[in-house]
């Protein structure tokens, strides 16, 4: 079994260094600057894990800071990456307990960690039921993008939580995992998770996804989300939108698996979601490059959003 992506160890945050996978090494975080650097470098990543990182970061800061200084530190953590709503949400959740002292802040952060674990299991079961309803009671070929697994959360995962729940039911024929350019979360992280669970999988280049769908080689697409706008538009890792277009064209389900904490009622639609622009050098060093890290899939291409509480059909 893989270690948790993020946890609390008495007086520090312990992160599995996801930049080093498949090598298993950890980074110990005892100050806010180290945490912000880890978030920016994707040592810890994935919306739910970022939420827990934000909350535990405030817990760390609350041990030495209070009042305006604590709020400034919290704000710095909240804006370390812009697209996943969970990061600022986790910060806010822990900061709300600041008046009751550092122990209360830590308790709030740990509560968020434990709630995320429960949410992922609920999403997994609900998503597996939904796919059975949509695709029938047969082994499925599922396409996923990026990593929305245990390592993007605390345990189990969202999109891969659905895969795990289906696998437990003996209902996964194959997972097609996009390698996910440019930082290869699919090839480096999703593949490691699926191999550890002995789920049959194949990694493909991102550009292969839509044509595999068009050729009838995929039964459903299941992805995670970084932020879901009030109208159901979904921001997720760049390369998600082409899969949604291909799924709609082929008439197969495009399912988004995300906790309620990823739903953002304050963002009216996808055009209001800030898309993180990362360093061009992550894409290309021989000349100019452009590196938007996320895209937005419009609600009308989304068959369903499966959360820990409900199935929402926004389209
Ligand atoms: O840049 P990343 O690796 O943080 O992007 C992660 C994703 O896009 C995931 O699909 C999303 O956060 C959902 S994780 C359950």
CATH number reported for the structural domain that contains residue 36 in this entry: 1.20.120.420
CA dihedral 30, 33, 38, 41 (to 10 degrees): -170
Q: Please, what's the b/e burial string for 11-33 (b: 16 or more CB within 10 A of its CB; e: otherwise)?
A: eebbbbbbeebeeeeebebeebe
Considering the domain architecture, whether residues 67 and 133 belong to the same structural domain is answered as: no
92 and 170 both lie in a single domain = no
- Residue 1 domain-assigned? no
E strands in the chain: 6-8, 13-16, 26-29, 140-144, 172-178, 201-204, 220-223, 227-229, 234-237, 254-257, 263-264, 294-297, 304-306, 311-312
Mean per-residue pLDDT of the chain: 98
pLDDT tens-digit map of 36-46? 999 999 999 99
Which ligand 1 atom is at minimum distance from the Cα of 257? 15
Residues 83 and 134 in one domain: no
Cα→Cα distances 70→3, 63, 201, Å:
30, 9, 45
Q: Is the CB of 148 under 6 A from ligand 1?
A: yes
115, 149, 171 — which closes off a domain?
115
Domain CATH for 168? 3.40.50.10470
How many A from CA of 290 to the centre of ligand 1?
Answer: 19
Shared domain check, 163 and 81: no
Label residue 181 by pLDDT band (50, 70, 90). Answer: very high
Gap from CA of 134 to ligand 1 centroid (Å)? 25
Number of domains in the chain: 2
Q: Is residue 171 part of a domain?
A: yes
Q: Do 83 and 194 have their domain in common?
A: no
Contact yes or no for 254/243 (Cβ under 8 A)? yes
61-97: pLDDT as tens digits: 999 999 999 999 999 999 999 999 999 999 999 999 9
Let me know whether 40 and 70 are in one domain. yes
* 41 known ligand binder: no
Q: Is the pLDDT of residue 315 over 90?
A: no
Q: CA–CA separation, 294 vs 229, rounded Å? A: 14
Is residue 109 in some structural domain? yes
Q: Is the ipTM of this complex over 0.95?
A: yes
**Does residue 161's CB lie within 6 angstroms of at least one atom of ligand 1?**
no
301 in contact with ligand 1, CB cutoff 6 A: no
Structure tokens at 38: 């880890």
Which residue owns the Cα nearest ligand 1 atom 15? Answer: 148
Q: Element (H or E) spanning 103, and its range?
A: helix 102-135
Domain membership of residue 109 as a residue range: 6-115
> Which of 57, 85, 115 is at the close of a domain?
115
Three-state secondary-structure class, residue 50: helix
Same domain, 89 and 146: no
Q: Which atom of ligand 1 is nearest to the CA of 236?
A: 8
For residue 166, being part of any structural domain is answered with yes
Would you say 147 is a known binding-site residue?
Answer: no
Q: How confident is the model at residue 1 (pLDDT cuts 50, 70, 90)?
A: confident
Q: Is the CB of 158 under 6 A from ligand 1?
A: yes
CA distances for 308 relative to 116, 210, 305, 311, angstroms? 9, 28, 10, 9
Choose the residue to mutate in 119, 153, 236, 295 for probing ligand 1, maximizing ligand atoms within 8 Å of C-beta: 236
pTM here is 0.98
Q: Which tens digits make up the pLDDT trace of 11-54?
A: 999 999 999 999 999 999 999 999 999 999 999 999 999 999 99
CA of residue 84 to ligand 1 center, whole Å = 8
pLDDT (0 to 100) of residue 188: 97
Q: Is the same domain home to 129 and 274? A: yes
In short, whether 224's Cβ falls inside 6 Å of ligand 1 is yes
The Cα 51–Cα 119 span in angstroms is 13
Q: Which of 180, 171, 136 is nearest to 45 (CA)?
A: 180
Q: Which ligand 1 atom is the nearest neighbour of the CA of 145?
A: 10
Alpha-carbon distance of 2 to 90, in angstroms, equals 24
Confirm whether residue 237 is marked as ligand binding.
Answer: yes
Classify residue 137: in a domain, yes or no.
Answer: yes
Kindly list the distances between the CA atom of residue 84 and the CA atoms of 32, 103, 171, 173, 214, in Å, as whole numbers in the listed order.
19, 27, 31, 31, 30
The catalytic residues are: 226
Give ∠ CA 43-77-31 in degrees, rounded to 5: 70
Residues 36 and 53 grouped into a single domain: yes
Q: Annotation-wise, does 124 bind a ligand?
A: no
Residue 165 shares a structural domain with residue 274: yes
Instruction: Please identify, among 115, 146, 180, the residue that sits at the C-terminal boundary of a domain.
Output: 115
Same domain, 240 and 109: no
Residues 161, 94 within the same domain: no
Residue 50 CA to residue 91 CA, distance in Å, equals 10
* Apex 205 CA angle, 273 and 272, nearest 5: 5
Per-residue model confidence as pLDDT tens digits over 194-235: 999 999 999 999 999 999 999 999 999 999 999 999 999 999
């Amino acid at each position: 079994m893989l270690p948790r992506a993020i946890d609390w160890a008495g007086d520090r945050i312990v992160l599995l260094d996801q930049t080093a996978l498949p090598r298993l090494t950890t980074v110990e975080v005892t100050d806010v600057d180290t945490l912000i650097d880890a978030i920016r470098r994707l040592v810890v990543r994935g919306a739910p894990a970022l939420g827990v990182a934000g909350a535990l970061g405030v817990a760390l800061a609350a041990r030495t800071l209070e009042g305006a200084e604590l709020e400034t530190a919290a704000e710095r953590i909240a804006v370390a990456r812009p697209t996943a709503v969970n990061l600022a949400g986790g910060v806010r959740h822990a900061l709300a307990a600041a008046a009751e002292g550092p122990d209360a802040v830590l308790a709030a952060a740990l509560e968020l960690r434990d709630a995320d674990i429960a949410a992922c299991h609920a999403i997994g079961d609900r998503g597996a039921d939904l796919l059975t309803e949509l695709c029938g009671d047969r082994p499925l070929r599922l396409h996923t993008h990026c990593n929305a697994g245990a390592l993007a959360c605390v345990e189990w995962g969202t999109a891969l939580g659905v895969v795990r729940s289906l696998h437990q039911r003996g209902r996964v024929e194959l997972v097609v995992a996009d390698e996910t350019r440019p930082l290869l979360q699919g090839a480096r992280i999703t593949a490691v998770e699926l191999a550890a669970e002995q789920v049959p999988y194949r990694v493909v280049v991102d550009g292969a996804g839509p044509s595999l769908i068009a050729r009838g080689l995929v039964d459903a697409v299941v992805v995670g989300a970084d932020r879901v706008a009030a109208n159901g538009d979904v921001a997720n890792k760049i390369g998600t939108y082409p899969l949604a277009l291909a799924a709609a064209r082929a008439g197969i389900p495009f399912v988004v698996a995300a906790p309620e904490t990823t739903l953002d009622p304050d963002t009216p639609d996808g055009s209001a979601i800030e898309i993180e622009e990362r360093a061009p050098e992550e894409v290309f060093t021989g000349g100019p490059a452009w590196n938007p890290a996320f895209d937005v899939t419009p609600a009308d291409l989304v068959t369903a959003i499966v959360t820990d509480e409900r199935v929402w059909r926004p389209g």
